[in-house]
Amino acid sequence: MMKATRIAVLFLGISWLASASYGYAQSDLPPAKILRSLQFVQDSVVMGDHSARDMQKYLLETIDTTLRTADASIFEDSRNADAALAYIMSGGNPQTLDYLVARDVQGHFDSRVINILQKYFNGRGVQVEKIITDILPEYRNGVLGPYLMLIAGNIAVTRDPAASLVFFDDARLTAPGTIIEEAALRRSIIAMIQMKQPDKTLQYVRKYAVRFLHSPYASQFADLFVGFVVESFGAVSKENIVEIADLMDPKRAEEIYLRIARQASLRGQVELARFATDEAEGLTSKTGDTSRMPLSKLYSGLAGVPSDAVHSATDTLASIPNDELSPRDIALRDAAKTIAEQIVRVPAASGSPPSQGDDPAGDGKTVLSASNDDVDAQKQSGQVVAGAPLREFFDKSRARLNEIDSLLEQEER
C-alpha cells in the first residue's frame, strides 16, 4: 500500500510538468532525475506491483521526448549523458541513441559505450566483447555499471556460459532488488541449464522463485523451469520440484505442474507425468478451481498411452467431454485415443497352431517333455522379439503426439 502511494505521488509530481504545447510526454526535469524515477518504478514492477506499469510506460515516453527536445548543452553534465545511455539500456528506444549520437558534436557521450550499444542492438555484440570487458572496471560503481554487466553476460552466454555467470552475478550483486537483478537471475538460469549443472541450476531457480515470482517476466522463468525439469528429471528429483512449487501460490503451482505433465506426457516420461498430474490434482482442493481437472485427466491419459496402463489411459481419455477442452487439446486427446486403440487392438492370427503331425516323436509329448529351462528360454526369446517392435511402436506414437502438438502450437501463434 505504501509503495502504491509513493508511485501515485511520483506520478503526480512528474505529470504536472507535462507540457500541453507538445501534446505528448515532456518534462522540465533533467534526464538524470527522470531516470531515477524510471528506475524506482521498474524495480517496483518486477517486485510485483503491476499497477506501476502504466507509470513505467509514461516515464519511458517522457525521458525519450526530453532527450530529443532538450538543448545539447544539458549533456555537459555527465549525469545526464549517462542517464541517456541508461535509458536506452532500460527498454528505451534504440533509435533515440542514433539521434543523440548524430548531434553530439561536443563529444558528451563516451564513444566506447556508444559503439558497444550500437553493435549490441544490431545483433553484433560479439564484436565488442573485449571492449566491454575492458571498460567495466571504469564504470563498475557508476549508474551504467550494472547495465553494462548485464549486456556483457548476454553477449557471452551462448559462447561461454560460465563466463557469462561472472557478469550476471556481478550485475545482480551490484544492483540488488532491482530490475537488473531480476534479469540477471533469469539469464543465470539459462546459462546454468546450458552448462548442464542441475544442482547449481536449482540454486538460481530457488533464488528467483523467492525474490521475483510476481515479476511480469516470471512467465519466462516458468518456461525455463518446466523445460529444465523435464530435461533433467532424475538429476532433478520430485522433492526438488515440490520444494520450488511450494514457494508459489497454489494456482501458479498447479499451472506449473500441468505444464510439466504435458511436456512429460509427450516425451513418454510416464513417472514424471503421473507425479505432476497427481500434484496438480492435489492442489485443486486448495485453489477451489476445478476448471483444470480435464487437463489433469488429459495429461494423465497421455502419460498412460506408452505404458502398461494403456487400457486405463484409453478409458480416461474417452471420459473427457469435448466442451471441457480447447480445440487444441481435443485434437491432442483424439490423436492419443487413436494411438491407444491401436495398441490394445487384438492382432489377427498369423498362423495355425501346430498339429500333432508336427511332433517328431509322434506321441505329442515333445514340448511337455522339454526341460523347464528350455521353456523359460523360449518365452524370454519371444519377449525379446516382440519387445523390439513394441518399443518402436511406442516411440512412433510419442513422435506422432509431439508432431501433432507442435503443429497445433504453430497454428495458435
The model's pLDDT over 366-396, given as tens digits with 9 standing for 90+, comes to: 333 334 444 344 334 333 333 444 455 455 5
273 closest CA partner among 290, 281, 199, 205: 281
pLDDT number for residue 304: 60
Determine which of 29-33, 179-183, 267-271 has the lowest per-residue pLDDT on average.
267-271
* Grid cell for residue 352: 495355425
DSSP 8-state code for residue 236: B
For residues 15 and 28, the answer to whether their CB atoms sit within 8 Å is no
pLDDT number for residue 45: 95
Q: Report percent pLDDT > 90 for the chain.
A: 56
* Domain end marker among 207, 225, 258: 207
Domain region containing 178: 130-207
- The residue among 152 and 305 whose pLDDT is bigger is 152
In-domain check, residue 251: no
In-domain check, residue 408: no
**Confidence class for position 342, pLDDT limits 50, 70, 90:** low
Radius of gyration of the chain (CA): 30
Q: What is the mean pLDDT of residues 72-91?
A: 96
Judgement on whether residues 88 and 158 belong to the same structural domain of the protein: no
* Domain end marker among 161, 185, 207: 207
The model's pLDDT over 38-68, given as tens digits with 9 standing for 90+, comes to: 999 999 999 999 899 999 999 999 999 999 9
Q: What is the mean pLDDT of residues 131-152?
A: 96
Judgement on whether residues 92 and 135 belong to the same structural domain of the protein: no
In-domain check, residue 198: yes
* Domain end marker among 207, 237, 272: 207
- Does residue 297 register a pLDDT over 80? no
In-domain check, residue 88: yes
Judgement on whether residues 88 and 162 belong to the same structural domain of the protein: no
The C-alpha torsion from 41 through 46 and 48 to 50, rounded to 10°, is 50
In-domain check, residue 325: no
319 closest CA partner among 297, 349, 300: 297
Q: Give pTM, 2 decimals.
A: 0.74
Determine which of 76-90, 195-209, 274-288, 356-370 has the lowest per-residue pLDDT on average.
356-370
- The residue among 2 and 156 whose pLDDT is bigger is 156
The model's pLDDT over 262-273, given as tens digits with 9 standing for 90+, comes to: 888 878 788 898
In-domain check, residue 379: no
In-domain check, residue 172: yes
- Does residue 408 register a pLDDT over 90? no
**Confidence class for position 358, pLDDT limits 50, 70, 90:** very low
In-domain check, residue 297: no
**Confidence class for position 346, pLDDT limits 50, 70, 90:** low
The total number of structural domains that make up the chain? 2
- Does residue 114 register a pLDDT over 60? yes
Judgement on whether residues 91 and 158 belong to the same structural domain of the protein: no
- Does residue 357 register a pLDDT over 80? no
